[in-house]
């Protein structure tokens, strides 16, 4: 079964063809990073207009690279939320038009659920249930128990900034540019984690909080002159990164051991961070699944993989996993 996946929730216009929920035949991502970098962050109206320009060529390229004509596509999956409304509309309406004109089944996919399904696209054996999923992106930091396909229970979320958002804001304070995660990672690779930034453990809860460490970084930059001191900037970046990785790793592993899950699945853009994956790979007492970096950041292959399981499913997924912006829409 070949699914065409479409993703336009934020600033990447993406389309992919995936076979049987695991084999990537094509995975095309048109990034808007250069366009938004000059503003220091994503401008929603600019993003949606860029999606309008890119969506058709990106889909055509995905089919061409997959060597798959339209008649060999068996279904369409599209991200319907959460995300920027104007951006989502472009993908959803394009997917609807394709499904209607080609007479194909269509499924709307939750973006966070799609991130989890990047773990079905790796070279490794498919994950085992129950799994504990850590989804860390620009807008979310969620811990989700996955008992089976479509069966999710949200255990924790960030109470303020998401992990990726904290990276982006810290990079901005340090003058490292956008997107912040890769910029902090790059700077951190030249530094030592010598600044004792705070960790919000929120004991007894699986929630996260990253606004405190971000504020601590801001105060540090107010008190110390970092201008022209690239080695101090590198040390601050390394210290900030370590504080975030420490909390994500410790809280995830504590929850995983308590729940006695079979595996821990990482996903979302922040899971592309090598320091984070090294910490999990070196220290996790449980089997771990980490998608390669290009499948952690936004892409449509993960949407197609998730859509495959929706279309295979004979019963609607459970609704424990709240869908943030569009809770009334069906997942399946
Ligand atoms: O999942 P994603 O591509 O888009 C959203 O759904 O938000 O995640 C984007 C976020 C951004 O905040 C970006 O700074 C962060 O992921 N990110 C990273 C890295 N690569 C991307 N954070 C830390 N280290 C990285 N290497
Ligand atoms: Zn994402």
113 three-state secondary structure: helix
- What one-character-per-residue DSSP string does 122-171 give? SSSPPPPSSEEEEEE-SS-EEEEEEEETTEEEEEE-BSSS-HHHHHHHHH
Eight-state DSSP code of residue 17: E
Nearest protein CA to atom 22 of ligand 1, as residue: 181
Q: Mutate which of 142, 167, 242 to test ligand 1's pocket (most atoms within 8 Å of Cβ)?
A: 167
Cβ–Cβ under 8 Å, residues 66 and 24: no
What counts of helices (H) and strands (E) characterise the chain? 11, 10
Radius of gyration of the chain measured on its C-alpha atoms: 20
* Atom of ligand 1 minimally distant from the CA of 274: 26
User: From ligand 2's centre to the CA of 194, what distance in Å?
Assistant: 31
Work out which ligand 1 atom sits closest to the CA atom of 180.
Answer: 14
CB 316 within 8 A of CB 309: no
Nearest ligand, CA of residue 267?
1
Q: How remote is the CA of residue 113 from the centroid of ligand 2, in Å?
A: 10
Only one residue has tokens 């601050």, namely: 236
SS3 208: strand
What does the pLDDT read at residue 91?
A: 96
- Tokens 């990482």: give the residue: 266
Which residue owns the Cα nearest ligand 1 atom 6? 137
Distance of CA 240 to the CA centre of its chain: 20
Global confidence as pTM: 0.94
Q: Where does ligand 1 bind, in terms of residues with CB under 6 Å?
A: 10, 137-139, 164-165, 167-168, 179-182, 185, 268-270, 272-273, 297-298
pLDDT at 319: 40
Greatest pairwise CA separation for the chain in angstroms:
63
Distance CA 254, CA 172 (A): 32
Q: 324 alpha carbon to ligand 2 midpoint, in Å?
A: 14
Q: Which two tokens stand for residue 309?
A: 């399981």
Give per-residue burial for 298-318: e unless 16+ CB within 10 Å, then b.
Answer: bbbbbbbbbbbbbbeeeeebe
Ligand nearest to the CA of 172: 1
Q: Which residue reads 């399904």 in tokens?
A: 117
Which domains are assigned to the chain?
A: 2-118+296-311 (3.30.420.40), 130-290 (3.30.420.40)
Q: Could you tell me where the beta strands, DSSP code E, fall in the chain?
A: 2-7, 12-19, 23-31, 75-81, 106-110, 131-136, 141-148, 151-156, 263-267, 288-289
Which of 163, 182, 275, 186 shows the shortest CA–CA distance to 233? 186
Q: How far apart are CA 214 and CA 231, in angstroms?
A: 20
Q: Which ligand is nearest to the CA of 138?
A: 1
CA of 137 relative to ligand 1 center, distance in Å: 5
Tokens representing 214 are 């971000």
Q: Report the run of H or E that residue 220 belongs to, with start and end.
A: helix 211-223
- Residue 10 contacts residue 83 (beta carbons within 8 Å): yes
Residue 53 structure tokens: 């320009």
If you search the block for the tokens 């996919």, which residue do you land on? 109
Nearest-angstrom CA–CA distance, 131 and 152: 10
Bridge-based pairing of strands 12-19 and 23-31 is antiparallel
- Integer angstrom CA distances of residue 133 from 143, 167, 292: 6, 20, 16
Minimum CA distance residue for ligand 1 atom 19: 181
Q: Show pLDDT as tens, one digit a residue, over the chain (332 residues).
A: 999 999 999 999 999 999 999 999 999 999 998 999 888 889 999 999 999 999 999 999 999 999 999 999 999 999 999 999 999 999 999 999 999 999 999 999 999 999 999 999 999 999 999 999 999 999 999 999 999 998 999 999 999 999 999 999 999 999 999 899 999 999 999 999 999 999 999 999 999 999 999 999 999 999 999 998 999 999 999 999 999 999 999 999 999 999 999 999 999 999 999 999 999 999 999 999 999 999 999 999 999 999 999 998 865 544 434 434 333 333 33
Bridge partners (DSSP) of residue 19 are 2, 23
What confidence score (pLDDT) does residue 315 get?
57
- Ligand 1 test: best mutation among 111, 114, 179, most atoms within 8 Å of CB? 179
């Amino acid at each position: 079964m070949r699914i065409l996946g479409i993703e336009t929730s934020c600033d990447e216009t993406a389309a992919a063809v995936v076979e049987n929920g695991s084999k990537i035949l094509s995975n095309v991502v048109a990034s808007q990073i250069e366009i938004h970098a000059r503003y220091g962050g994503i401008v929603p109206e600019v993003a949606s207009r860029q999606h309008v320009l890119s969506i058709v060529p990106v889909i055509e390229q995905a089919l061409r690279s997959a060597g798959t004509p339209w008649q060999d596509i068996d279904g369409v999956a599209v991200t319907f939320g959460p995300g920027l409304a104007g951006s989502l509309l472009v993908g959803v309406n394009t997917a609807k038009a394709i499904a209607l004109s080609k007479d194909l089944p269509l499924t709307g996919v939750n973006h966070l659920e799609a991130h989890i399904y990047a773990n079905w696209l790796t070279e490794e054996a498919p994950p085992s249930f129950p799994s504990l999923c850590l989804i860390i992106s620009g807008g979310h930091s969620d811990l989700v128990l996955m008992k089976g396909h479509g069966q999710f229970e949200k255990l924790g979320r960030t109470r303020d900034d998401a992990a990726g958002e904290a990276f982006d804001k810290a990079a901005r304070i340090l003058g490292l540019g956008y997107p912040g995660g890769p910029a902090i990672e790059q700077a951190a690779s030249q530094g030592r984690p010598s600044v004792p930034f705070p960790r919000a453990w929120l004991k007894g809860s699986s929630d996260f909080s990253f606004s405190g460490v971000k504020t601590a970084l801001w105060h540090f930059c107010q008190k110390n002159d970092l201008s022209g001191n690239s080695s101090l900037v590198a040390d601050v970046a390394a210290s900030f990164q370590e504080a975030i990785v420490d909390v994500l790793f410790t809280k995830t592993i504590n929850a995983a051991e308590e729940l006695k899950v079979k595996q821990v699945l990482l996903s979302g853009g922040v899971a592309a961070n090598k320091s984070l994956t090294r910490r999990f790979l070196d220290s996790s007492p449980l089997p771990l699944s980490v998608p390669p970096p290009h499948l952690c950041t936004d892409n449509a292959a993960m949407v197609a993989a998730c859509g495959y399981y929706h279309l295979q499913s004979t019963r609607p997924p459970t609704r424990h996993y709240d869908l943030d912006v569009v809770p009334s829409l069906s997942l399946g």
